[in-house]
Amino acid sequence: MSTAPPAQIILSTSRSFGLVAIACGTQYSRARRALDETGFQQIPGGASASPLTDGLTARQTASTLVHRAHEHGVTLTTSTRPYLGDIGHQIAAQLPGAWSSHPEIYSHPAWQEDLVPLLWDRGDLIHSVEHQRVPYATVLRNDTGTHLLLIERPGHSSEYVVGAFGPDGFDDNYEQAHAPRSVVLPAATDLAARAIHETFLPAYHRAVHHRRLDTVLSALEHIREEHLAWRAIKESGRSSDGMPLTGSRLLPELDGAFAEHAGLAFRNVLEHAPALLSRCRPALTPWPQDAAALDRLRAALTQIQETTAPDRALSSIPPPTTTGELAPGRSGVSALPVIETWLADSEAFERQARAAAPGGPVALAAPSPRALTARPAPPTMPGSSTKNR
């Protein structure tokens, strides 16, 4: 990370707050002390400000700050840009939908490092946060849960960079394969808002779609491998070490172990599949016959939702215990018909979900997604004949 003074005050101007000061550096407390002694007041987001009501007051404030900074060994830096909190507010106001902006200060360099695992990016944003000093930023949020980070582009006098935080429901955002690429924004806030709306957000939503799909398909593939091994052992009548299963206690234990393992992996399907299904429009694809399969998949998910409290739909599949062992319970076994339905119709799901990617021909022709609420007649859940379907 690039070096910076141990105690620094960065000054910028704001139409709302006047003279804005940001204390930063490994010894940022000295910078804050200088600001407090000068009469600066803290504003939302962690910066400090002094009103510029008239020229005489402004000159007196500047003179006092210079002396206090010198006394405390603080470096004063004047930014060529307006206060970033104002820029974020102006951009948010010009984005379609309900957006808000929230300034953040990373006074100590270590605070900036906390951003790295949270960002979902493979462009200038993550590179800047990892290798350049970024003492402040603005978070842009909308009412659908999208969180963006806006920073001043390091090494440039007027440009900005915007990228995304990882979406809800995922971990391990760092160097994630589907991560969108942050974009450079111009200084004009109307052009910056247009670039976010027309360039960055469409790429972001495509990336979320593909990440969801990859997560669901990986979970189903893992379950399928476990399912095949489970079926093979049951049909052979012997466990993996050759011990007969008939008349022993191993058979119910085998069933329970598969149910719990499969249930844990199926949590990713419960988390991410509904959003993917809501975008699917089989009638607009070359495979309209997939509609019946998608109805079965929706019904299977609804079955879990209706048999569990709405806020506990995911917790119906139990997590591991604190000792690392799988928690015993009936929920994994009860979810088996749902899991087997998803295994049987996974090919149609993948085909339709890929066709429904944002920006594709189906997405462009489709109406707004419908909620996963309508429940068709439940299908006959597959049992021992699943492998033949």
Output 274 or 317, whichever has higher pLDDT.
274
Residue 10, exposed/middle/buried by CB under 10 A (0-12, 13-18, 19+)?
A: buried
Same domain for 301 and 220? Answer: yes
How many domains, in total, are found in the chain? 3
**pLDDT at position 217, please?**
96
Does position 105 have pLDDT exceeding 70, yes or no? yes
Residue 367 has pLDDT above 60, yes or no: no
382 or 129, higher pLDDT: 129
Residue 1 covered by a domain: no
Say if 378 falls within a structural domain.
yes
Task: Looking at the structure, tell me whether residues 95 and 123 fall in a common domain.
Answer: yes
- Please determine, for residue 291, whether its predicted confidence score (pLDDT) is greater than 90: yes
Give the lowest-confidence range in 59-63, 79-83, 99-103, 239-243: 239-243
Backbone torsions φ then ψ of 181, nearest 5 degrees: -100, 125
Tokens of 271: 């988390």
State which of 78, 113, 133 marks the end of a domain: 78
Q: How far, in Å, CA of 251 to CA of 226, rounded?
A: 15
Sequence-distant (6+) residues with CB within 8 A of 198 are: none
157 inside domain: yes
CA 323, distance to chain mean position in Å, is: 29
Whether 3 maps to a domain, the answer reads: no
What's the rounded mean pLDDT across residues 187-207? 97
Same domain, 69 and 100: no
**Residues 371, 245 share a domain:** yes
pLDDT of residue 335: 75
Q: Are residues 95 and 214 in the same domain?
A: no
Same domain assignment for residues 27 and 169: no
- Percent helix, strand, coil in the chain (nearest 5)? 50, 15, 35
Q: What is the mean pLDDT of the chain?
A: 83
List own/partner pairs for 63-70 with CB under 8 A and 24 or more apart: 64/38, 64/39, 65/9, 65/21, 65/34, 65/35, 65/38, 65/40, 68/34, 68/35, 68/37, 68/38, 69/9, 69/31, 69/34
Degrees to nearest 5, angle at CA 60 with 59 and 63: 85
Instruction: With a cut of 50, say whether residue 313 has pLDDT above it.
Output: no
Q: Do 225 and 315 reside in the same domain of the chain?
A: yes
What count of Cα atoms within 13 Å lies in the side-chain half-sphere of residue 264? 16
- Residue 195 in any domain: the answer is no
Among 78, 113, 131, where does a domain finish? 78
Q: For residue 25, what are the domain limits?
A: 8-78
Examine the domain organization and report whether 41 and 70 are in the same domain: yes
Residue 328 binned pLDDT confidence (cut-offs 50, 70, 90): very low
Q: Which two tokens stand for residue 173?
A: 């955002």
Residue 294 lies in a domain: yes
